[in-house]
Amino acid sequence: MTTAVRRGRPRNAAVDVAVVETVLRLLEEGAGVGELSMERIAREAGVGKATVYRRWPGKEALLLDVLRSLEADLQTPEPVGESVRDDLVLMLEFLRRRGLAKRSSAVLRAVITEIRSHPRLWRAYQDTVVQARREAVYEVLRRGMATGEIRADLDPELLADLFVGPMLARAVLREWQELPGGLAERIVDAVLDGVRPH
Amino acid sequence: MTTAVRRGRPRNAAVDVAVVETVLRLLEEGAGVGELSMERIAREAGVGKATVYRRWPGKEALLLDVLRSLEADLQTPEPVGESVRDDLVLMLEFLRRRGLAKRSSAVLRAVITEIRSHPRLWRAYQDTVVQARREAVYEVLRRGMATGEIRADLDPELLADLFVGPMLARAVLREWQELPGGLAERIVDAVLDGVRPH
């Protein structure tokens, strides 16, 4: 029984990996997302079209999994739960490392660029992967409001953007700009202290 | 003599406008940037290919002019030169209005999305149009450092991102998020004051 139950699983997981890796290979070879059909992906992965559709309802869902598999190497930080300042630094440092990874990986860059140019796909990426990271930031900010480390009179969404926005402006919008070590600390401390002289 | 000199100019300007408007029309009709060749643009505009190439060295330069023509309706703000805080609000308010314009104009959105998905084009856009706006922000910040309204111990590039980044995160990266009136003021004041309770 156990054998029978377990037999199918590695096979399905292997198919998932094969399909995701096929997409990565095709993108590495320079294929644009527009050229990739579910049919072609299935054929190149050596599996049936129905098998691919059973796992992913469409190409968009599949591409999100491709991006997730690429981002899985970048460990999302767990807040330590002591200093709110240090946890915010940890989260911005993750965005800095992700920006560096994107710069050094042509495939990661290609997948993100393609996802970025398809508004629905971009939105789905933001609503899942990015939203999960934002929730973690909100949680740290709410903790800071409770402990008195963060002003309680500001909207948490605005607060999150004050910290995250400056890092994203460099890491995502101006990819040729330096992302030096210590940038996360400098942003967090400047936003906490304010830029008006005391 | 004057007539002879002036005769050519309106004709050239008219050609420029006709070419830019042809690109806009083709994009409006749903053509992707990849499908637009200089040949096709010239043909559809009813001018010679050489005429188009005389004005623009390539499609990228032409597309930047198309985007510039779309953004020309959005008046770039002139700093008033009194309160640094108010001038920063003015500049962020411009970015907010630009974000709203992009949301309500399918063509502006299409051109920016296309430019965004071509790294070299995006870089050229940043190095010209966006850089000019950044220089204006740097100037206001330097003035603030001189008058004591802004801390003088922070890197101007970092400072600019602290103000501009949070607005861009919403206006550019999460286009479905609200851009309510008053957002520019709230960002500028929070960055000036800091988010740590005094």
Does residue B68 lie in a domain region? Answer: no
CB contact (8 A) between residue A150 and residue B197: yes
Residues in A closer than 8 angstroms to B106, CB to CB, are none
Bigger pLDDT: B63 vs A10: B63
Question: Based on the domain organization, do B82 and B174 belong to the same domain?
Answer: yes
Number of domains in chain B: 2
CB contact (8 A) between residue A116 and residue B119: no
Question: Based on the domain organization, do B88 and B127 belong to the same domain?
Answer: yes
Q: Give per-residue pLDDT as tens, A15-60.
A: 899 999 999 999 888 887 778 899 999 999 999 999 999 999 888 7
Does residue B64 lie in a domain region? Answer: no
Query: How many Å apart are CA A165 and CA B9, to the nearest integer?
Result: 45
Does residue A68 lie in a domain region? Answer: no
- Please tell me the predicted confidence (pLDDT) of residue A7: 40
DSSP per-residue codes, chain B? -HHHHHHHHHHHHHHHHHHHHHHHHHHHTT--GGG--HHHHHHHHTS-HHHHHHH-SSHHHHHHHHHHHHHTTSPPPPP-SS-HHHHHHHHHHHHHHHHHHHHH-HHHHHHHHHHHTSHHHHHHHIIIIIHHHHHHHHHHHHHHHHHTSS-SSS-HHHHHHHHHHHHHIIIII-TTS---TTHHHHHHHHHHH-SS--
Angstroms from A66 CA to nearest CA on chain B: 18
Over range B100-123, report the average pLDDT: 82
Bigger pLDDT: B119 vs B95: B95
Question: Based on the domain organization, do B32 and B116 belong to the same domain?
Answer: no
Does residue A43 lie in a domain region? Answer: yes
- Please tell me the predicted confidence (pLDDT) of residue B11: 52
Read off the pLDDT band of B166 (50, 70, 90): very high
Angstroms from B26 CA to nearest CA on chain A: 18
Does residue A11 lie in a domain region? Answer: yes
| CA-to-CA dists, residue A48 to A15, A26, A39, angstroms | 10, 18, 8
Does residue B38 lie in a domain region? Answer: yes
What domain range is A119 assigned to? 73-193
Question: Based on the domain organization, do A55 and A97 belong to the same domain?
Answer: no
- A108: domain CATH number is 1.10.357.10
CB contact (8 A) between residue B169 and residue A174: no
Question: Based on the domain organization, do A21 and A82 belong to the same domain?
Answer: no
Read off the pLDDT band of B71 (50, 70, 90): confident
For all residues of chain B together, what is the average pLDDT? 87
- pLDDT per residue, tens digit, chain A (198 aa), is 333 344 444 457 888 999 999 999 998 888 877 788 999 999 999 999 999 999 998 887 898 888 888 887 677 788 999 999 999 999 999 999 999 988 888 778 878 877 877 778 888 888 888 888 899 999 999 999 999 999 999 999 999 999 999 999 999 888 888 999 999 999 999 999 999 997
Bigger pLDDT: A75 vs B20: B20
- Please tell me the predicted confidence (pLDDT) of residue B7: 40
3-state secondary structure labels for all residues of chain A: CHHHHHHHHHHHHHHHHHHHHHHHHHHHCCCCHHHCCHHHHHHHHCCCHHHHHHHCCCHHHHHHHHHHHHHCCCCCCCCCCCCHHHHHHHHHHHHHHHHHHHHHCHHHHHHHHHHHCCHHHHHHHHHHHHHHHHHHHHHHHHHHHHHCCCCCCCCHHHHHHHHHHHHHHHHHHCCCCCCCCCHHHHHHHHHHHCCCCC
Question: Based on the domain organization, do A105 and A129 belong to the same domain?
Answer: yes
Question: Based on the domain organization, do A188 and A90 belong to the same domain?
Answer: yes
- B20: domain CATH number is 1.10.10.60
Last residue of some domain: A62, A83, A105? Answer: A62
Residues of chain A with a CB closer than 8 angstroms to some CB in chain B: 113-114, 116-117, 119, 123, 126, 148-152, 154-155, 158-159, 161-162, 164-170, 172-176, 183, 186-187, 190-197
| CA-to-CA dists, residue A40 to A103, A108, A117, B100, angstroms | 28, 21, 21, 39
Question: Based on the domain organization, do A100 and A187 belong to the same domain?
Answer: yes
Question: Based on the domain organization, do A57 and A78 belong to the same domain?
Answer: no
Question: Based on the domain organization, do B186 and B92 belong to the same domain?
Answer: yes
**Residue in A117, A123, A196 closest to B176 by CB:** A123
Question: Based on the domain organization, do B34 and B12 belong to the same domain?
Answer: yes
Question: Based on the domain organization, do B87 and B126 belong to the same domain?
Answer: yes
Does residue A170 lie in a domain region? Answer: yes
Query: How many Å apart are CA A36 and CA A27, to the nearest integer?
Result: 9
Last residue of some domain: B59, B92, B107? Answer: B59
Closest CA to A160 of A101, A100, A82, A84: A84
- Please tell me the predicted confidence (pLDDT) of residue A11: 52
Read off the pLDDT band of B113 (50, 70, 90): confident
Which chain B residue has the Cα nearest residue A118?
Answer: B113
Last residue of some domain: A22, A37, A62? Answer: A62
Q: Give per-residue pLDDT as tens, A143-153.
A: 999 999 999 99
